[in-house]
Structure formats: C-alpha cells, structure tokens
Amino acid sequence: NAGVTQTPKFRILKIGQSMTLQCTQDMNHNYMYWYRQDPGMGLKLIYYSVGAGITDKGEVPNGYNVSRSTTEDFPLRLELAAPSQTSVYFCASSYPDGNTIYFGEGSWLTVV
C-alpha cells in the first residue's frame, strides 16, 4: 500500500520558472490537501479538494494553482517561482471527516 506519493522529492528552480508537484494517493480518499512548511514552522494549507472536480483555496494560495481531475491525483502548479516559495511541500489525503490526515513524504523546493 503506497499511501500518498509525491514527486519530485527535491527540486531547484530559478526565479520565474514554473513547475508542477505531482501527488497521487491509492486510499480512495475524497479529500486531498497541499501544505507548505517553512523551516521551524508549522504547516500552512495552500489548497484543498473535497473530491474530483472541486478545489478550494486554503490559507496561502497565492502563486499556486491546483486541479483535481481524478480521485487519485492532485497536482500543485507553481507559476513564476519566487524565493518566497522555497519550502517543503506536503501533499496529504483523508476520509470525508477531514480529520485523520495521511501525509506524503514531502517535496523540498528551493527557488534561487
């Protein structure tokens, strides 16, 4: 059982470049999330989805976009990367109660 899988694990971007962080889960969870975690800080919600075709903004959505075409996949798009987007990104999923959240292993992104 793979759980929540994120790729890539590490990436260095130049300012202004764009990229997509991939996330897939095999637990048939309706809810999926993208969080970012800055060094020494807690998790901040970027975007979330309660099901295929439905997405909504979290606490820090600026500079990001998401899509949810299938239950399994929830990619995060960074447009025009900025140094402020240097962070660790975690994809996660849960059942509809939204409480017990399962995290992927994280994607370390550096924007230079």
Partner 1 sequence: QKEVEQNSGPLSVPEGAIASLNCTYSDRVSQSFFWYRQYSGKSPELIMSIYSNGDKEDGRFTAQLNKASQYVSLLIRDSQPSDSATYLCAVGRAGNMLTFGGGTRLMVKP
Site string for partner 1, 42-81 (x = CB under 8 A): xxxx--x---------x-----------------------
Minimum distance, C-beta of residue 47 to partner 1, in the bound complex (Å): 10
# of chain residues touching partner 1 (CB under 8 A): 19
Residue 7 or 103 with smaller CB distance to partner 1:
103
Residue 78 or 90 with smaller CB distance to partner 1:
90
Which residues partner with 92 through β-bridges?
33, 103
E strands, the chain, in order = 4-7, 10-13, 19-25, 31-37, 43-51, 54-57, 64-66, 76-78, 87-94, 101-103, 107-111
Instruction: Tell me how far apart the alpha carbons of residues 108 and 105 are, in angstroms, rounded to a whole number.
Output: 10
41 touching partner 1, by CB under 8 A: yes
Contact window for partner 1 (CB under 8 A) among 22-30, 65-73, 74-82, 102-110: 102-110
Instruction: Tell me how far apart the alpha carbons of residues 102 and 27 are, in angstroms, rounded to a whole number.
Output: 10
